[in-house]
Amino acid sequence: MINKSLTTPIAVIGMACWYPDARNPRQLWENILARRRQFRQLPDQRLPIADYYNPDCGESDKTYISRAAVIDGFSFDWASRRIPYTTFQNTDIVHWLALETAIEAVADAGYSHDELPGEHTGVIVGNSLTGEMTRSNTMRLRWPYIRRAFRAAARSRNLSDNQAAEIETTLKDYYKSVFPSVNEDTLAGGLSNTIAGRICNFLNLCGGGYTVDGACSSSLIAVATAATGLMNKDLNLAIAGGVDISLDPFELVGFARTGALTKDDMTVYDRRASGFIPGEGCGFVVLKRLDDARMDKNYIYAILHGWGISSDGRGTAITAPNATGQARALKRAYARAPYGIEDINFLEGHGTGTAIGDRIELEGIALAMKDVRVSQKKSERSCGITSLKSIIGHTKAASGAGGFIKAVMGVNRRILSPTAACRDPHPLFNTLVHSLYPILQGEQRKPTEILRAGVSAMGFGGINCHITLESGDPPSDLLEPSMDERTMMVSNQETEIFVLTAETMDELYEKVNDLVKISKGISIAELTDLAAKLGHESYRKACVRSAVITGQPDELTKLLEQLALMIKERPPASGKMLNDPGQMVWLSNRLAGTRVGMLFPGQGSQKLNMARVLVERFQWARDRVAGLSILHLIELEDRRMLKHGFTTSRRPKMPNLPSV
């Protein structure tokens, strides 16, 4: 049993990250609030997926998934960091992404290189398998096997010795040309255990630096390990996080054979959950004992109070999740914290979107809550649950750090952030975990309120980790997004309308074909950006107009190709319009006197949160209902319906209802 009086609260004083479409925490926070999903066709520059893709997955060396969430634009300035070029070239890129992100986290904490207390500052990094660059480069040293296979094939085909020798020489040149030559930096640059050491080396840190590998819980274990080091006073400052740049056949085919990937849309904590889409990224935080942070006048994003690590033990397969083991990690975390699991406002769950994974996780949470005895004077509280993976996929060894940073930003900004694409919540929310609910739209609290959260991560081999934290200082201006947070949380929509205008059909045909090329590489999130750009580019006096509606990049490509076919083979006559509502494609030619109509289908309660979306997205709507109570709005609706001949049931008076 842990003595809570002996535990030490830990302050989060710095953060940095690089995840898909998010080069820093502020960009990540904006994407989280707006539920910008980063899934796209895996770029050929990363992996020619056509070589490994089989939608039926009948072949053992194939994967049935072709999408991923990838980071873009990262480049390491080896010259300005005073790294020799040969070292840079022979070192896996995970080292440089981790180093750059760690440096930014240190700067966010208010330290320069020279100011860090290096003697007792440590670095703990979560990583598995280094990166795909390492596995690729080791192929150079496999040339002798390739040569033996070729010689055996040449003999079976009765090639002459001269023919075989010529082809072998050419094959060797082609084969080795894409790999850097092996030098004194190759070994250290290809190992995961030197990632932390590289950060210590660059920043001159002497408190210890090492890599932990707990599979998909690696980076959250790194944070928990750093907290333990601070509590034990082995460290005075800790840099902890994780990195994962690994989207190669080894993992994509391997995960496909376990059935963990989804052929469809990724949905988390949803009845239709069928697997995850892989992602990549990097995240680091800077931690310090709370008392020391207060004394040093550091800004405190959040306060870490409890952490627990557990293994599943015997009883399930090595790769299968276990509810009892996961519950054990949660219980250990709250046994250390000054509050219980019943006191938290939200959980940043592991949430992989696999049918068995989500179910077992919810069952584990239910087991952790089962032993909670709520007093009769205290009503049962509800707790939200969400998952970062719903927008960036499963970033594996970097997922725990991403979830931790998301939770830190949530308690800091006093917001329960939403989960993307959860349309039909898991049935367990209505039964076993009825006090838990999926956060669908997001919730904003007062900036003076203290929010508490838990963060979970589970990995292959049955290794589980849970951390709980609460709000620290007032909300950080550095995290404040470019748009009102309430507006961003209701801005997401399932589909977009893509409008194209032109003077002639030929001009429109060229525009559509150009757009087809763009659509083949964009993410779901970028559909919104593209639709907005096209909307701004359309002009009123255009003679030819077209539009398609969709919410998926691959579907956009198909609809645009269909539109191009309509333009080329059966364009509408002047003054006419072609439309295929079933396929969501419209094409018009020189329509005169057109007007836009808006349809109001019925009394307006066909969709959950319709009024909320209107009020929180637009200031004029917010001003209109300001000060009106919910009861007043109901009575206004009753009078409107009676005026138009509808009957209404008598509703009881409900005084003291909160205002909208």
Up-side HSE of residue 144: CA atoms within 13 Å toward CB? 1
pLDDT of residue 626: 73
Tally Cβ neighbours within 10 Å of residue 319. 12
What single DSSP character describes residue 582? Answer: T
SS3 assignment, position 596: coil
Enumerate residue ranges in the chain where pLDDT < 70. Answer: 1-6, 371-380, 581, 593-594, 600-610, 627-660
Give the C-alpha separation, 586 to 547, whole Å: 5
Provide the pLDDT for residue 369: 92
Closest by CA to 230, choosing from 335, 304, 284, is: 304
pTM of the entire structure? 0.92
Q: What is the pLDDT of residues 301-317, one digit of tens each?
A: 999 999 999 999 987 78
Amino acid 579: pLDDT = 83
Distance CA(192)–CA(94), nearest Å, equals 9
Q: CA-to-CA distance for 407 and 346, rounded, in angstroms?
A: 9
Helical spans, DSSP H, in 23-160: 25-34, 85-89, 93-108, 132-137, 143-156
Q: Which residues contact 559 (CB under 8 A, 6 or more apart)?
A: 548, 550, 583, 584, 585
User: Cα(35)–Cα(489) distance, rounded to whole angstroms?
Assistant: 8
Cα separation of 660 and 556, whole Å? 38
Q: What is the pLDDT of residues 596-608, one digit of tens each?
A: 777 766 655 556 6
The residues, ordered by sequence, that sit 6+ positions from 311 with a Cβ below 8 Å of its Cβ are: 325, 461, 462, 463, 464
Q: Assign residue 597 a region: left if phi > 0, alpha if psi is -120 to 50, beta otherwise?
A: beta
Q: Tell me the C-alpha to C-alpha distance, in Å, between residue 470 and each of 175, 301, 402.
A: 54, 9, 17
Answer whether 338's CB lies under 8 Å from 305's CB.
yes
Contact 534, 502 (CB under 8 A): no
Q: What is the pLDDT of residue 645?
A: 47
Please enumerate in sequence order all residues whose Cβ is within 8 A of that of 429, keeping only pairs 6 or more positions apart, or say none: 269, 362, 436, 437, 438
**Measured distance CA(584)–CA(596) in Å, rounded:** 17
Residue 23: its pLDDT value, please? 98
Residue 298: its H or E element: none
**Dihedral, 207, 209, 212, 218 alpha carbons, nearest 10:** 80
The answer for residues whose C-beta is within 8 angstroms of residue 312's C-beta and 6 or more apart is 321, 322, 324, 325, 326, 462, 463, 464
Q: What is the pLDDT of residue 552?
A: 95
259: left (phi over 0), alpha (psi -120 to 50) or beta: left
Identify the three-state secondary structure at position 41. strand
Residue-wise pLDDT tens digits, 102-161: 999 999 999 987 789 999 999 999 999 999 999 999 999 999 999 999 999 999 999 999
